[in-house]
Structure 1
C-alpha cells in the first residue's frame, strides 16, 4: 500500500484529517442535492452517465478509453447513491434547478469518492495481524474500498433469471402479500435493470420515431410541421403521450421510474422505498456522519418515493439490495411465515447446486441431507448435498447470511469479516467432518432420516473417486472474503489435497452457461480447486477465475510458476481476468452470440463429445486428461486422430500414444469391426513401455472410416513392471515402437 514507512501516529492523523474532510464534503453535497428539483437533478446526472456509456473509443488506446468510460460511470453511480441518501433523509422543499451547483456537486462527489479510498488505505495500512493473517491489511483495504465502489457485480441481463429462481420457494406467500408471484416479481426486476441498461437509448429511438412520423405527416400534406401541428396533435394523442414519456426518460430521470417501467404492484414498491425524510441514521451526528462508510440508505430500501411514483435512483443497489430487502419486508408483513420461510430457504440452498447444474450433472447420484455417525463424537451428523458423478464427488454445504451486506467494514471490520468468515468456516468444517468420515474406513455407509429412524441409503469408498470437491454455497457472492478465507489458519486442504471452494448461486447462473458439459465443469472445478489451495494467490471473484480458465486453461500452473520465480511473495493478485465473461453479456444481441470457450480443434471436440455421450465409467478422468493439454498438444492430438481416421478403410484399427505422465493411448476402432481386446491391451502396454510411462490413460474410440467418431470409452492399461515369458512379446513390440516414436 502507499503508506509504507509511515508511523502509526502519522497514519492516525492522516485518517482523522481525511475523515473530517469527508464529513465536510458530504455535508456540502447534501446541501446542494436538497436544493435541487429531484427529477431535474436525476436527468442531469444520468445524462453524464449516458455520455460515459457512449464515450467514443480510441482505436489506438482502447484500454485508456475503457478506463475513462468506466470512471464516468462509476462517478455517476457514486453520486446517484448520495442523491438517494439525501432524498431519503430530507423532506421535500420548493427548489429551482441550478446547473452551476450541479457542476460543483459532481466535483465534490469525485473528491469524496477519492478521499474515501485514501482513507481506506490509511486505516488498513498498519493492520499487521488479524483473522486473515498477514493478508488482513490487504483484505481490509479491499473490503472498505469495495464497500465504497463495488456495485452491480452481477450481469444485468440475468437479473430476472436470478430473482425467479431464488423467489420461487416463496411464490405462494408473495402472492398472498403482494398479489403477484415470483415470476412476475422477477420480470419486474429485469425490467428495472433493462430500463437502467438501455432506457436512454430506447427513449432516443422512441423520440426519433415520432419525430420522423410527424415530419412524414407534414410532407404528405405539402406543409410545414408548424402548419399541421394542431391536426397532428388531435389525431395522434397517444403518440404525443409516448414521445413525452420518452423525453421524460431522457432528461428528467424517467428511466429510474419503476412505476412506469415495471408492472410491480404499489405495495411491493412501497415496501422497498423510502418516503422523503424518512431516513434518520445516515446523516445523524457521530463518527463518519454522511460519509460512504456509513450504511447507505439504499442498502436497506433501494427505492425512493417521489410524488405518487417510485424511483430506482441509482441503477445498481436496487439489484444488489433488492433481494434481501424484499424478503425482509415479506417476513415483516407475514411474521407467521418465519418457520416455513427458513425451511424453504434451507431447501433452496441445499438443492440449488444440483438443480442449476442439472445438465452438467446428468446421470449423477444425488443425496440430500446425508446422515452418518461422526467417528470422533459418535453423534449423528448431517451434510446438505452429496453428488456422485463417475469418479468425481461433490459435497455441497449451503449457508445463508446477510450481515456483511449491510454492516460497514469501516465502522466494524471484525464484525463485517466475521459474518462472512462464519459462512465459509462453518461450511468448511462440515465438509471436513464428512471427508474425515470417508477416510475412516475402506468403505463407509451413509444414511437418510425418515423422521423416526436412520436408514442406510448407500455406501462409499474413497478410493473410487479421483476428484473430490468440498463446496460452500451461498445465495449471494461475498467476494473478496470468500476467496481470502483460504488464508485463515484453519482453512487447509482437506485430507491434505482437497481444497475448499466457495461459490454463490449467482455464480452458478454464469458457470452453467460457460461450462455446459460435465467434462468442462468438472475440469474447471479441478483447476479452481488447485487455485483455492494456493495461499497468497488471489483472484477477486468466481468470474475472474472463470475468465482466467477460458483464457489460460491451467492458470493454476502459471500462478505456481510465478510463486516459484518470485520466491513465494506474500500476495499475488490477478485482476481483470473476467473481461471475456463480461464482454459476452454486453449489447442487445448478447443471447445470440457464441459463448466464449477454450479453443479445441474439431477432432478433439468430437472425441470429448463422444466421451460425454457414451457416458461410460472413467470418462471424466479421460476428459480431464485431454483438457489439461496445451494448445499445441491439442492440435497434435487432432492431427493424429485425423491421420488414423483416414486409414480406417484399409485397417480395422489404428493406435497412437502421446507421451506424458500419464501418457494417453488411443485405440481407434472402425465402428463396424469387432474389437480385438487382447491385441488392444498388448499394444497399449507396449506403447507405455516404449516411452517409459508409469501410468497410461487408455481410450477405445469407435469411428466410421474417414468419418465421425461415434463412441469413446476409457479403458485400464496395464504397464508391465517385469519382463516374463508371458509378456516378452510386449517388450519386443515396445522396442520396435520406441524406434519410431515422434517427440512433440
Structure 2
C-alpha cells in the first residue's frame, strides 16, 4: 500500500512538473527568432557532447552521440509544437543564455516524462497483455517519447517510391507529380538533414579558397576584392548565402529550397503559425509530451513563405500518413480504390521486395479454404512455398501506429495492437490449424464468384513454417513485445508468429542477399519470437545479434533454461546494422556479414546455384555452425577435397549436437555412384544412432571449384536383412574410423557487451535521466 501511495505521489508530482516545464519552454521558444533557434540546436549535433556546456549537473549520460541525438529530436518536436500553436510575436531576440536554458529544460521534461511512465505503469493490471500489461504500458509510454525503432534516412526514397507507386495517377492529378518524384523529394529532405551542414561548410570553404585565389591574382587583399568577386559570380554568391543559412539559421530544414516538392503538397504536410489549438489547450497533460505532438499529425511547419521539416525522424513517421490523409481529403471519391490498391501493395510487398531471397517460389495470393470448424470460407493474403519452407504473410495496409497518446488513451493504443497484431495472428492460426487438419488440404482462389482449386498443400512437406504479420510502417516496439501477450503462442505448438514491416524488408534484403542467409535468419528470428522473457527492441536488434553471434537465440535459451535469468533485455545489438547506413559512401561500402571461411562459402554457393530439393535444409544445417565449427568444417572440406587427386570420391560425417551431416565429395567429371552414396549415408545413420541424417553431395574440382551441390534424403534401415547386411557391417567399421568427425554445432557462448559498473545514484545507462536505483536498478 505504501508503495502504491508513493507511485501515485510520484505520478502527480511528475505530471505537475511536466506542465510547469512545458509552459516555461513554450515561453522561451516564442521569444527567440525560430531560424536562429534552429541553427543553434542543429549546431549542438556538430559539437562533442562534453563541449556543449548545456548538460546539467548529474546528466552526464548525455555524453554520447545517441543520447544527444535523442534529446535534440525531442527538443525539435517541442519547437515544432510551439510554432504550430503560437502566432509569431512582434518582438523576438536571440539570446544564447535562453537557448541554453531551453536545452536544459528539454532534458528535465524528458526526465520527468520517464518518471511518469514508470509511476503510472507499475500498477497496471489485466488488459489484452495480461500479466505483462504493466511492462508493455511502460514501453508504450517511453517509446512515445522517441522514434519507434530504427530508421535509415538513406532508404527514405526507396520506401516512399514503393508504397506510393499504387497511387501514382492520383498523385499526379492532385499534386502535379507522380510517386517517383514525391519519393525523390522525401529523399532530398532526408539528405539535407543528414549531410546538409557538411555540404554547406564545403561550399563556404570552396568559396573562401576561390576568393583567396582571386585576391592573389589581383594582388589585393581579400577584403578589397570580395565585392568584385561577388558581382562577377552572382550564382556562386547566392550558393554561399544559402550555405551560411544552412549552417547557422536552420536552412538544412528548409524543404522548400532543398526539395522539388510542390508547395501544394508541402502545405498539406505543414502547420501554419498558430494553427494548432489542441496541444496547449486547457486540460490534463497540457503542453506535455503525453499529448499528441503536432508533428505526429503534420511533420512540417511554415515559417515565412517557406516550409521546414524541423525533426529528422517525423518526416518519415508522420509524413506518409499525413500525405495519404490529405490525398483522400482532396479526392474523397478515391477512397474505395485507394483501399484496394493499398491492400494489393501490402500483400505483394514481401515477395516483391525479397524476390532475390525467394527464387522460384510458388506464390499464392488471396487463398481461400473452408474452415473445418466454422464451416465458413476463410481467406489469407499470401502463401509462399520455397523448397521445404513455408511463409504465410498476413498484411495490414493501414498505418502501424496510432497518434493517440498512451497516457491519455492506453486502451486505444492497445486496440491498435489488437488490430495490427492479433488479427493477423488469428488469421495465421486458423490457416495453420486447417493445414494440420488432414494429410493434404486443398486451397482455392475466388474467381468470377466461384471457388476454384489452385493447390493441394501437405503440412509434412515443410521443415520450416513462418507465419508473418506485415505492416507498412515500423511497429516497434510492439512488433517484438507482442509475444508476451497471454493469448499468443507458437502455432501448432512450434511455429512462432513474426511481426515485420515493409521498412524492415528493405534492410533485410541488403544484409541477407541470398536465399540461404535470409531463410536461416528467419529460423533464428522465429525461434526468438517464441521465447517469452527475451526482449530486443526492434528488428535490427535481432538482425545485429544474428550477424554478430549467429545462433545467439540458442545461447539465450540456455541462459533461461539454466535459471541464470528469467528475463533478458538486450540493447544496442543493432549498432552493426546502423553503422552500415551511416557513411556518406554507404552504397559503395560492403555490408556487414557473418564470417564464413572461403571453402565453406564456395560449398554454400554451389548449393544456392544448384537449388536441388532439400538445399535450404542443408544450408541451414551448415550455417548453424559457430565460428569454431565453421573453421573446422572448412578445413575438413579442404583436406578431403585434396584427396580427390588420387581418388574419384571421398566422404566424411560431421556429428555432435543435432542431426549428423554426411558429406560426399565427387571429383568433377566422374559419374556419381548413387547406390554407394546411399549405402554409406545409411551406415552413418546406424553408426551415429541418429534418427535423421542430412545428406550432401558436391561435385568439385581438385583446385577447389565447386561445380554443383545437392542435398539428398538418407534412408535409415528399419532392421537388418539379408539385403542390407553390408550396411550394418560398414557402420561398425565406420564407428572405429576417422570418417566420423565429432563437432559441436556451435562452439561459442553468447556474452553481452561488458559495461562499467553503474553506481546506485548514477544516471541509469538506459538514458531515462533517472537515477539507476530508481530505474533499472530497482
**Fold match, TM over 0.5?**
yes
Q: Indicate the residue corresponding to 2:360 in structure 1.
A: 363
The one of 527, 531, 543 aligned to 1:530: 527
TM-score (norm 1): 0.96
1:624 and 2:615 are equivalent in the alignment = no
TM-score (norm 2): 0.92
User: Structure 1 residues 70 and 52, CA, compared in 2 at 3 Å: closer, same or farther?
Assistant: farther
1:9 and 2:22 are equivalent in the alignment = no
1:72 and 2:65 are equivalent in the alignment = no
Of 393-402 and 241-250, the range deviating more from structure 2: 393-402
> Distance between the aligned counterparts of 1:541 and 1:117, measured in 2?
20
1:615 and 2:599 are equivalent in the alignment = no
1:155 and 2:152 are equivalent in the alignment = yes
Partner deviation per Cα, 1:136-162 (whole Å, 9 max, x = no partner): 212111111111123673101110110
> Distance between the aligned counterparts of 1:173 and 1:618, measured in 2?
46
Q: Indicate the residue corresponding to 2:569 in structure 1.
A: 573
The one of 598, 601, 619 aligned to 1:602: 598
Of 47-56 and 33-42, the range deviating more from structure 2: 47-56
Q: Indicate the residue corresponding to 2:369 in structure 1.
A: 372
Q: Indicate the residue corresponding to 2:258 in structure 1.
A: 261
User: Structure 1 residues 504 and 224, CA, compared in 2 at 3 Å: closer, same or farther?
Assistant: same
Q: Indicate the residue corresponding to 2:390 in structure 1.
A: 393
Shift in Å, 1:452: 2.0
Q: Which has the higher contact order (CA 8 A, sep 6+)?
A: 2
Partner deviation per Cα, 1:105-153 (whole Å, 9 max, x = no partner): 1111111111111111111122244322222212111111111123673
- Would you say how many aligned residue pairs link Structure 1 and Structure 2? 732
Q: Indicate the residue corresponding to 1:453 in structure 2.
A: 450
1:383 and 2:380 are equivalent in the alignment = yes
User: Structure 1 residues 562 and 493, CA, compared in 2 at 3 Å: closer, same or farther?
Assistant: same
> Distance between the aligned counterparts of 2:562 and 2:125, measured in 1?
25
Q: Give yes or no for contact 2:477–2:538 (8 Å, CA) kept in 1.
A: yes
Q: Indicate the residue corresponding to 1:671 in structure 2.
A: 668
SS in 1 for 2:643: coil
User: Structure 1 residues 230 and 477, CA, compared in 2 at 3 Å: closer, same or farther?
Assistant: closer
> Distance between the aligned counterparts of 1:172 and 1:561, measured in 2?
54
The one of 633, 637, 642 aligned to 2:633: 637
Q: Give yes or no for contact 2:497–2:526 (8 Å, CA) kept in 1.
A: yes
Q: Indicate the residue corresponding to 2:322 in structure 1.
A: 325
Shift in Å, 1:97: 1.4
Of 116-125 and 715-724, the range deviating more from structure 2: 715-724
Q: Indicate the residue corresponding to 2:555 in structure 1.
A: 558
Of 623-632 and 732-741, the range deviating more from structure 2: 732-741
Q: Give yes or no for contact 1:88–1:274 (8 Å, CA) kept in 2.
A: yes
Shift in Å, 1:54: 11
1:302 and 2:299 are equivalent in the alignment = yes
> Distance between the aligned counterparts of 2:293 and 2:62, measured in 1?
28
> Distance between the aligned counterparts of 1:630 and 1:152, measured in 2?
29
Question: Map of 1:93-492 to 2, 5 A cutoff?
Answer: 93-94=89-90, 95-150=92-147, 153-402=150-399, 404-492=401-489
Q: Give yes or no for contact 1:658–1:664 (8 Å, CA) kept in 2.
A: yes
Shift in Å, 1:67: 5.2
> Distance between the aligned counterparts of 1:549 and 1:133, measured in 2?
30
Shift in Å, 1:514: 1.0
Q: Give yes or no for contact 2:269–2:322 (8 Å, CA) kept in 1.
A: yes
Q: Give yes or no for contact 2:440–2:458 (8 Å, CA) kept in 1.
A: yes
Q: Which runs of 5+ in 1 are unaligned?
A: 57-63
Partner deviation per Cα, 1:519-545 (whole Å, 9 max, x = no partner): 111111111111111112121111111
> Distance between the aligned counterparts of 2:61 and 2:486, measured in 1?
42
Shift in Å, 1:400: 3.4
Shift in Å, 1:403: 7.4
> Distance between the aligned counterparts of 1:582 and 1:418, measured in 2?
31
> Distance between the aligned counterparts of 1:605 and 1:383, measured in 2?
37
Shift in Å, 1:725: 2.5
RMSD (Å) for aligned C-alpha atoms: 1.7
1:91 and 2:87 are equivalent in the alignment = yes
SS in 2 for 1:573: strand
User: Structure 1 residues 493 and 152, CA, compared in 2 at 3 Å: closer, same or farther?
Assistant: closer
> Distance between the aligned counterparts of 1:568 and 1:454, measured in 2?
51
